[in-house]
Amino acid sequence: MAEKPAAIIERFPGRAAQVCIMPGCGGIFGLNERVYVCPKCSGPLEIECKPPEGVLVSALRARWDARAVSQEPQDRSGVWRYRELLPFDEGVRCVTLFEGNTPLYEAPRCAQYARIDSLRLKHQGCSPTGSFKDTGMTVAVTQALALGARTVVCASTGNTAASLAAYAARAGLQAAILLPRGQITASKLAQSMDYGAAVFELDGNFDDCMRLIQELGSEPSIYVANSINPFRIEGQKTVAFELMMQLGWRVPDQIVVPGGNMGNSSALGKGFDEMLALGLIDRTPKLNIIQAEGTAPLATLFAALDVKDATAAAQLPEMALLAVEHPRTLATAIKIGAPVSWRKSLRAVLRTGGQIISISEQEIADAKAMIGRDGIGCEPASATTVAGIRRLAASGHIRRGESVVAVLTGHVLKDPDYVSQYHHGTLSLETDGAPIKIAGTFANVPQRVAANKTALLQQLEARR
C-alpha cells in the first residue's frame, strides 16, 4: 500500500467535534457540549476526530504493535491503545478495566454448518463484564469524568447496565440504573448490584424511564450513558482496528454482527470507514446485520429497499423505521423494537454492499449449540451471526471461499437458563397465541449411569 500522510478534515477547530449525521443539517458541536442528540434537528450525533497530523500509516501500525506488548495501562487497554483515533487529548484520565484484547477464533464446525470453507469468530463476550458494551463504556465513563459529572445513568436491564455499573465503580462515580417496576429479573441485574450501582424501580413503563433519563441529562452533575451517546460508539469502533491487527491487515470479505440497538454495527462501520480514509486499509468488508424474526424492524425496512439503486443511501433522511411494538425473542440482548442507531448502521450496510436479514428462534438456538461445539460459549443474541451466515451462504450473498468474520457479543454465562432449557428440550417463546417450542436439535443432556467403570466405558464408547 502506498504511504500517505493522514487526511485532515477542516470542518471545525480543535481535534474533534460532535457532528449531526443528518444530511443538510450541518450541526457541529464541541466535545464538551453536553448534547446527546442534535439540538437543531434531533438527529443522531457522531464524533469526528482529526487524525494525527503527518503520521504515516506504517508509523501508526508500528506504534500500535508496540503498545500491544507494553505494560502501561493505556496501552494494555484494547481501546485506548488506538488513542490517536479517539476524541481525547493525551494525558486524559482514562477509566479502564483492560477491555478489548478479545480473541479471534477459527470455528471449523460452525463453518461446516454454515456451508462455507472457513469462519472466524471475534468474541467480544470475553471482556471484563462479559459483553461488547465494555469497549464503549470505557470511553463514555472517561468522558463523564472529564466533564466533571458525579453520576452516570442509563435505562437497561442487561449488558449495558452491568458495564456502566462496573466502569462507574472503577471511576469512583455513582451509577444509577432506572427500570420499570416489576420487570426486573434478578439474574440480569446481579452484576449491576455487585458493582454497587443504585438500581431504581419506577412506577411506569420503559418509555417513562427513557423520558426521565432525558430530563436528568440536563443536570450538570449527571451524565447519560444510554445507547444514543456518541462517545460509546467511539470506543466500540476500536474493535475494527483490533480485528485488522489480528488479521495482519488483510481485509475480510464479510463481517456479520447481531442487530439489536444497532450500536455495534454502526461502530464497526465507522471504524472501517476511518481506516479506509487514513489509508490503513484499501477496501472495506461487506457489513451484514442479523436480527431475530420477532424483532426485526431494520430487516423489514431493508427488504423493502432497492439496494441496487445507487440513490438508496441518499434517501436515508426520508426513510422512516416502523418500530416493532411488542418485540419477541429469547435473544434478550437484541430484543429491541425501535433501535436508536438504525440510521448509522443502515448507512454502513448500504455503503459496503452488505445485507440485513432476520432468522427464526430455532435457527438461533441451533447455531448457538453449534458455536458451543467449537468450544466457544456465547449468549443467544451472538448466535444470530452463525445462523445468518448459513442463510447468506445459501442465498449466494456469501460465497464459499470468502473470508468471513462474525462478531459474538456476549458471554455464555449471561444466560445459562436458555442453554439448559435448549439441551433439555424445554425452551419455548411466549406469544399471544400458543408458545413457540424450540426443538433441542443438537441437545446434549446429562445421562444416568450405574456407578461402575464398565458401565461408564460402555456409555463413552457408545457416544464416540
Shortest distance, position 200 Cβ to Zn ion, whole Å: 31
**Cell numbers of 81, please?**
491503545
Shortest distance, position 440 Cβ to Zn ion, whole Å: 49
**Cell numbers of 390, please?**
448459513
Which residue's CB is nearer to Zn ion, number 35 or number 55?
Answer: 35
d(CA 418, CA 434): 19
Contact region for Zn ion (CB under 5 A) — 43-51, 61-69, 353-361, 443-451?
43-51
- DSSP conformational letter for 410: B
Which residue's CB is nearer to Zn ion, number 41 or number 104?
Answer: 41
Element (H, E) at 59: helix 57-68
Q: Binding to Zn ion (CB under 5 A): which residues in 6-35?
A: 20, 22, 25, 27
Q: Binding to Zn ion (CB under 5 A): which residues in 47-76?
A: none
Which residue's CB is nearer to Zn ion, number 41 or number 313?
Answer: 41
Q: Is 38 in the site for Zn ion (CB under 5 A)?
A: yes
Shortest distance, position 36 Cβ to Zn ion, whole Å: 12
Q: Is 41 in the site for Zn ion (CB under 5 A)?
A: yes
Shortest distance, position 221 Cβ to Zn ion, whole Å: 27
Q: How far is CA 455 from CA 443, 446, 464, in A?
A: 22, 15, 15
Q: Which of 410, 294, 307, 399 is nearest to 356 (CA)?
A: 307
Which residue's CB is nearer to Zn ion, number 47 or number 146?
Answer: 47
Contact region for Zn ion (CB under 5 A) — 42-50, 85-93, 353-361, 371-379?
42-50
Interface with Zn ion: number of residues (CB under 5 A): 8
Going 49 to 51 to 57 to 63, the CA torsion angle's sign is: negative
Which residue's CB is nearer to Zn ion, number 38 or number 275?
Answer: 38
Shortest distance, position 40 Cβ to Zn ion, whole Å: 4
d(CA 278, CA 82): 13
Q: Is 45 in the site for Zn ion (CB under 5 A)?
A: no
Find out whether 400 and 117 touch, Cβ atoms under 8 Å.
Answer: yes
Amino acid at 399: R
Which residue's CB is nearer to Zn ion, number 38 or number 164?
Answer: 38
Shortest distance, position 315 Cβ to Zn ion, whole Å: 17
Shortest distance, position 377 Cβ to Zn ion, whole Å: 42
Q: Which of 229, 210, 226, 236 is nearest to 348 (CA)?
A: 236
Q: How far is CA 5 from CA 57, 62, 238, 280, 290, in A?
A: 7, 15, 21, 11, 36
Q: Which of 419, 420, 430 is nearest to 364 (CA)?
A: 419
* Residue given cell 434478578 in the structure block: 186
Which residue's CB is nearer to Zn ion, number 20 or number 177?
Answer: 20
Which residue's CB is nearer to Zn ion, number 335 or number 347?
Answer: 347
Burial of 53 (0-12, 13-18, 19+ CB in 10 A): exposed
Shortest distance, position 343 Cβ to Zn ion, whole Å: 11
Residues that bind Zn ion (CB under 5 A): 20, 22, 25, 27, 38, 40-41, 43
